[in-house]
Structures are given as structure tokens and as C-alpha cells.
Structure 1
Amino acid sequence: MPRLFLAAACAAALLAAGQRDAAAQQTPLSRPPLAVPPEVNPPAPVLRPPTPAPRRAPPPREEPPPPPRARRAPPPPSGPPPMESAALARDLDAALSIDAVARAIQGQREAVRSRDAQVRSPIAGSPAIGSSFRSDTRGPRLANEWDVELGAPLWLPGQRSALAGTVNAGVEEQERRLALRRLELAGLLRDAYWAVGAAESELRVARDRLATARDIGRDVQRRVELGDIAETEALLTRNETLAAELDLARAEAAVQAARAAYRTLTGGSEAALLPPGTSAGMAGARPEPALGEATPHPAIRAAEAALATAEARARLVRATPIDNPELGLFTRGQGGPATENGTSLGLRVRIPLPTEARNAPRRADAEAERTRAEGELIQARRVIEGEIGLARLGLAAAGRNRQLAAQRRAVAEQQLTAARTAFRSGEIGAFDLFRVRQLQIEAAAVEARAEVEAGRARSRLNQALGLAPRG
């Protein structure tokens, strides 16, 4: 009996072992009884967003540690990337003082302002003195008559106030035209300013290229002397050094040309281009004025002033349907045996009559001028709105390009550092080193251009908004 119980137990154990072996050999399609735990398969929690905990660390291969370039790259600019010097306003004043268009506008403003003397006058024009003498045909001693007259034109009702309105509107129009011309010169000055900045950035890249070429040349020459590399590879270094020197000479000439063009525009002043510490230069760099649209654009203000002037002239035309009447005071004397002897006084009035031949052309000219000014105002508003929109898009694009260019240069510098280390250890040759060096030069040049373009984009936006540099 005990032997029978022992045999049954052994058979049961052998049967259980066989079932476990069969379960272990089942395929995935046969649904094994023991499911694979989730932590054994890392991608599973990542692909199902509801299951992973918010603070659970993902697998290392999903989020590798930040590369060195992310730590070395400059952060995105939080404020305006470019800087405009405070001395730019002084250079703008110097350019405005020698500008022919601005001087003509100032002269026209004084000419319009001089008409205020007529408004202050009690009469509508210049007084006149007249005299006449008459003698009888029988002889000068028988009948003589003479008279002397003093006359002056009179103001029509409302004419004086209408004329004062044209003077005020004309002066305001010239003032706004001068402000618009100042903004136009600011645009030219900003272009010249950033042209100098672009030339100087290329000069810095050229100097850096020459310095690095000479540094690499020393490493190559040291390895040539040690016999690690052939003498022909030193010629590659010499070629790169000569090319860097040539680019440096060209960059220096471009800087001098850009500065000369800037001085030509300002009449010799270049305060904005001087270093911050100089006495004649700026008192430190500062950002451009804050972007805002509270103040209307000078072009819109000038168009509004032109429309106001046209409307004032139309009111003056309506207030003067006739020429000014004239009032004269005269005295008359008579003498001789054939006439009465004595002196008399009198008044004489001359009132012109209105005619359509006189008034129709004047009304038509005034209406045509008003219509033209109104159309120019509508067009100015439409064009400025479009320019502001394009300038904002350009500024956003320039900011993104500047950030990407900075990251690219950081990566290129890491590549160059690694390549130089590999070259010193003999892992790569000079050709591979200079290939990596060329990538770093291109990245540095692109970053320099991106920085200048970011500054130029901010200046263009300020120009579109009508913001001129202020001291």
C-alpha cells in the first residue's frame, strides 16, 4: 500500500513537470499563462500615455542627457537683439542739417509763416495813393482841378480767419514734412549703420580665421618636425594662412568703405560708430526706443496735414467769392476864374461783383487738391500697415535664424575642438582637420550675419513704425 501511494505521487509530479515544460514552449500567439511584466519592455509605457506616472523617469534611450552644444549655446534673446547707440540721434541731426530736401522744407516753412504778417494787418492788402490834375482847354489859368486819394482793400466777412487757417495749416504741414524727412534720413542712416556692422562682423570672423589658421599651422609644423606627417601637409596650412590673410585684407577694406559711406551721409560725423568709452562717442549702447504705435507715423501725420491745408484753402476760396473791395478817401481842389474856387473831401468805394468765370476754376482747383490729399492719406495708411506687418514677420524670422545660427556655431566649435584633439593624437590628418575648420568658419560667418540681420530687422520695424532715433 505505501508503495502504491509513492508511485502515484511520483506520477503526479512527472505530469506537472510536463505541463510546465509545455507552457514554457508555447508561442506568443498561444497566450501563455504568465504575462510579461511591463517593466521588462520599456517602450510599452512610453507608447501608452495614460499608464506612466507624471514624474516617472523615462528610459535613457528615450531622452538622452543634453548634449554639450545645448549647454554652450546662448539662450534665446528675451529682449530686442540689436542695439542702437544713443549717438545715432546726433549723427541723424548732423545728416539733417546738410540735407538739401530738409533745408528746402525749412525754407518753405518760413515762407508760409511769413504770411502771418498779412493776417495781422488791419487791411486786406497794401494801401495806395493816387493823384490827378485836370485843366480847362481854354488855358491852365481859367479852370484847374486836382485831387489826391488814399485807398486800401477791405477784408471780406470771414476772409481773415480763413487766411489765418491756411497759414497755421501750412506751417503744420511743413513741420510734419520735416519730421517725415527726418524719418527717411533715419532709414538711410540705419542702413549705413548696419552696413558698417556687417562689415565689422566679417572682419572679426576673418581675424578669428587667421588666428586659428596660424595656431593650427604651429601644430602641423610641430608634427612635421617630429616626422608624424609629410611635409606636403604643411603646404596646406600655409595655403590656408595666406587665404585667411587675403580675406582679412578684404574685410578691412570693406569696413573702411562702409565707414566712408556713413561719414558721407552724416557730413563727417560718426559718433554712433565710436566705442562706448570714447568722449566723442556714445555714452553707452542702449536699445532702440520701445516699440509702440501710440504716436501716428510721420507719413500719416504729413498726409493729414496736407489734407488739412487743402481744406483750409477750400474754406478760403469759399470765403472770397469776389476780389477785395476798396475804400478810398480823397480831397479835391478847384481854382481859376472859370470855375469855383475851393477844396472838397470825399469817399470812394469800389466793390467787384462775383462771376462764375472767376470762382469756378478756383473751386475746382481747391477740390482737386483736397481730393488728392485725401487719396494720399488713405494710401499712406494702407502702405504703412503693410510695411509694419512685413517688418514684424522679418523680425521674428531674424530672431529664429539668430538662435539657430548660434547653436550651429556651438556645435561647429565642439567639432573643431574634437578634430584638433584627434589631429594632435594622430587619429586624423590635416585635410580632415581643415575640412572641419571650414565648417566652423562657415558657421561663425552665418552667426555674424544673423546677428546683424536681427539688428537690421529691429531697425526696419522701428522705421516702419515711424520711430526715429532720439538722443
Structure 2
Amino acid sequence: MNHSMRPFLSITMACAMTWGLPARAQVSQPGPSFHEAVVMAWAIDPVRTELQVGHHSARARASAAGSWFAGGPTLSGEYMDDHMIGSNEGYTTYQGGVSVPLWLPGQGSATKQVASAEAASIDEQLNVEHMALSIRVLDAAAAALIARTRVDVAHASYDSAARMAISATHAVHGGELASADGQLAQAAMENARNELALAQEEAENAAAALEVLLGRPVVPDLTRYGGSDVTQARFVSPRDMEDNDPRIKVAHRNVEAAEANMKLARHSFMPNPEIGVDAIHEKQYGSPWDDRVGLNFSIPLPSEVRNTPIMSEARNRLATATSQETQARRMVHLEMMRVRERLIAATTARRATQLAAESMEQRATAQERAWRVGEASLDTALAARQAAANTRLTSARAEMEWHVASIRTLIATGIVP
């Protein structure tokens, strides 16, 4: 075999192997909707399970606070006789009792309000986690789709570079082109091959990250959502959007729970008193009676040593919750502004990059045609083709970012499309 034909054959075989890859990608099944993807992720989200357990626990505490007594009963017992001191008169005493702690005035209802407020706060925390999970799924899906687009662009760039390398190899063998230009074409093809490998690596990593969230090797279709979907938003004014945000709701619920805890601290101004019954059975020499029944009570008195830390902790909790609510409102307000501006910027960038990609593709085609007829240099044609590929990838990113910005705006209004 002629050694000069080996570069041409290697280029031809490489083209044959890579041209088959886009065809296999086209037969993939369409992905689920974004809403379906969020449902998949929510079903296996570990934070959801943790919050649900906390919610059931808070509800159980609220139910337990409806008890008649502030705690469980206390049993007491005594036994005494005279044998231990050497006497044998038969003096023996058996004594037993049971007592229960009592609620202080308003303490039972306050305890129930604290547990109910904490359960309501956890309800809103579930909504916060659902919103955060939706954003994570959105970002992961966008990264996977952009990575796929990068693979498609890299495939197209490799195909163009390989096609031009084949033509350059023919021209070199025919004496129509300098060997340096042939080497330049082959170097461009190898660079395109490297870019394709890097793009495939990025696509695999992005798909794996998304699979961890969804539990399935699927990529949701975000392209079905666009700017027209934003008109479905239930809240138009920024104030309504902020009030509907679950992060502000959970912050407000935390303030309510802290206020209920402050009320409970005020009603717990002393340890719970106890009341109960005692029974005594005695065996005494010559005694006309041997059984007695009576009541017992225990009332611990208030103490500043005990009450001051309780009230201080309640005040600190209320101050922290109030501060966090204010900070949450500021954060959400700023985020709403950013989401709106991102959608406006993404809409402009989408149109601009589309026009730029079309123009650069036409320029690359014209430069390649001019090179083939000898009106342009090879490096100019290769540079035009590379610029067209970069602009196409930028346009694809802008297109995806526009869809992402539209969905993100809907999420900010409480809608998971």
C-alpha cells in the first residue's frame, strides 16, 4: 500500500465512525415534562421524608398537649417495721400513693399552640424544599441539555473539519495544495475530535448528576416551556409574589411559633404542682385501727433562678425569628428582581444570538466554498467554521437559558409547570 494514502484512509475511517453517532442520538425517546421530572425527584427526596417525620411528631405533641394532666402519674411507696431495731412488737407500716402533675393556668393551651405552630412551620418547610428541589432539577436538566447541544455542535464541527481534511488531502496528493495546508486541516480535525471527546464527557457527567436527582436516566424536555407560559402566573404584583413565596411563609410561621413559645414561657412561671392520694396499712400492738386514706399535694414555689433562663431563651427565639423574617423578605424581593431581569436579558440574548448564528453559518459556508475554488485560504475557512460553531453553541445556550428563565419565573410565582 502507498504510504501516502494512509492519512487519507485514517481520516475516512474516523469520519465513518463519528458520522454514525448523531444518528443514534436522534432515535432517543422524548424526555418527560419538567413537572413529571419534579414529581420523580420529590418521590425520592430524603429531605421530604425527614420533614414529614418532623411534621407527624409536631402533630403528635399537639395532640398530647390536650391531656388532662401536665405529665404522667407518679407512684410512691414505703414499708417500715420494728424488726430492724431489735424489737419484736410487730409494728409494721405499708404506705403507697399516686399523684399527677397539674397544668398551670393557660399552660396546656399554650403548649398545644406551640406544637401546632411548629407543625404549620414544617408544612411550609416542605413547600420550601419542593421549590428548592424544582430549581435543582431545572438547573441539572438545563446543564444536561446544554451538554447535549455541545455534543451536537462538536459532532457538526468534527464532520466539517474531517470533510475539509479529506478535500485537503486530495488536493495535497494532486499537487494542488501545499503539504502545510494539509497538516493544518488535519490538526483542525484533531482539535475537533478533542472537543467532541470533552463534550461527551461533560454530557455524561451532567446526565449522571440529573439521574441522581430523578432516580431514572431521563432528561426532561424544557423546550416546551417559553415566555408565553409566564402569563399563567397567578400573582402579578411583586408584593403578591413575595407573600406567596414559601420561604417568607415559613419565616412567618417561625415567628408565630416563637410567639406561642413566649406565651408558654409566661404561663410556666413555676414548676407544675402535683396532687394525689395516699393509703396506709399498719399493724401495731394494741392499735384500734390499721388503715388510713388521705390526700397529698406538692407545690413548688416560683424562682427567678429557674424562670429567668426560660424567659430569656423565649425572647431570644422570638428576636431571631423576627430578624429572619425580615431578612427572608429582603432576600426574596431581591431574587424576584433578578428573576425578572434575567428573563428580560435572556429574551434579548436569545434573539440576538439566533441572528448571529445564522449569519456566522452563512459566512462559514461561503468561506468554505471560496476555499474550494481557490478564492480564500484554508486557515480562513477553518477559522470561519470554528467561529460559526462557537456562535451556534452560544445561541443554543441562550435558547436554553431563555427556557430556564421562563420556568424560573413561573416557579417564583408558585407554579411548577
Is the structural similarity TM-score above 0.5?
yes
Distance in 1 of aligned mates of 2:87 and 2:266:
53
Letter matched to residue 66 of structure 2: R
User: What is the aligned length?
Assistant: 375
Q: Deviations over 1:138-170 (max 9, x none)?
A: 845354433221211122222221111111111
The residue aligned with 1:181 is 129
- Do the aligned residues in 2 keep the contact of 1:125 with 1:153 (CA within 8 Å)? yes
* Structure (1 or 2) with the greater helix fraction: 2
Q: 1:450 and 1:84, CA in 2 relative to 1: closer, same or farther beyond 3 A?
A: farther
Which residue, 104, 109, 119 being the options, matches 1:161? Answer: 109
Distance in 1 of aligned mates of 2:258 and 2:91:
57
The residue aligned with 2:77 is 131
Secondary structure of 2:96's aligned partner? strand
Residue 369 of structure 1 pairs with residue 317 of structure 2: yes
Q: TM-score, normalised by structure 2?
A: 0.79
Residue 113 of structure 1 pairs with residue 56 of structure 2: no
The offset of 1:389, in angstroms, is 1.0
- Do the aligned residues in 2 keep the contact of 1:127 with 1:153 (CA within 8 Å)? yes
The offset of 1:265, in angstroms, is 4.0
Matches within 5 A, 1:182-331: 182-217=130-165, 219-220=167-168, 229-230=177-178, 232-266=180-214, 268-271=215-218, 273=219, 285-286=224-225, 290-291=232-233, 292=235, 293-294=240-241, 296-331=244-279
Distance in 2 of aligned mates of 1:421 and 1:262:
42
Letter matched to residue 393 of structure 1: E
Letter matched to residue 112 of structure 1: A
Secondary structure of 2:76's aligned partner? strand
The residue aligned with 2:36 is 87
Distance in 1 of aligned mates of 2:246 and 2:272:
38
After alignment, is 199-208 or 353-362 more displaced? 353-362
Letter matched to residue 246 of structure 2: P
Distance in 2 of aligned mates of 1:258 and 1:393:
27
The residue aligned with 1:96 is 45
The offset of 1:385, in angstroms, is 0.6
Q: Deviations over 1:167-194 (max 9, x none)?
A: 1111112222233233333333333222
Where does structure 1 lack aligned partners over 5 or more consecutive residues?
A: 1-82, 277-281
- Do the aligned residues in 1 keep the contact of 2:150 with 2:393 (CA within 8 Å)? yes
Letter matched to residue 363 of structure 1: M
The offset of 1:127, in angstroms, is 1.0
Distance in 2 of aligned mates of 1:320 and 1:192:
50
Which residue, 405, 413, 426 being the options, matches 2:361? Answer: 413
- Do the aligned residues in 1 keep the contact of 2:70 with 2:101 (CA within 8 Å)? yes
Distance in 2 of aligned mates of 1:452 and 1:446:
10
How high is the sequence identity, in percent, across the aligned residues? 25
Secondary structure of 1:333's aligned partner? strand
Q: Deviations over 1:223-272 (max 9, x none)?
A: 66776555553443333222222211211111112222223344x4233x
Which residue, 335, 344, 359 being the options, matches 2:283? Answer: 335
Distance in 2 of aligned mates of 1:142 and 1:240:
112
The residue aligned with 2:93 is 145
- Do the aligned residues in 1 keep the contact of 2:343 with 2:409 (CA within 8 Å)? yes
- Do the aligned residues in 2 keep the contact of 1:183 with 1:466 (CA within 8 Å)? no
Which residue, 333, 349, 355 being the options, matches 1:385? Answer: 333
Distance in 2 of aligned mates of 1:132 and 1:255:
77
Where does structure 2 lack aligned partners over 5 or more consecutive residues?
A: 1-31
Larger Rg over CA atoms? 1
Letter matched to residue 422 of structure 1: A
Q: 1:425 and 1:348, CA in 2 relative to 1: closer, same or farther beyond 3 A?
A: same
Q: 1:86 and 1:186, CA in 2 relative to 1: closer, same or farther beyond 3 A?
A: closer
Q: TM-score, normalised by structure 1?
A: 0.71
Distance in 2 of aligned mates of 1:433 and 1:357:
86
The offset of 1:405, in angstroms, is 0.8
Secondary structure of 2:78's aligned partner? strand
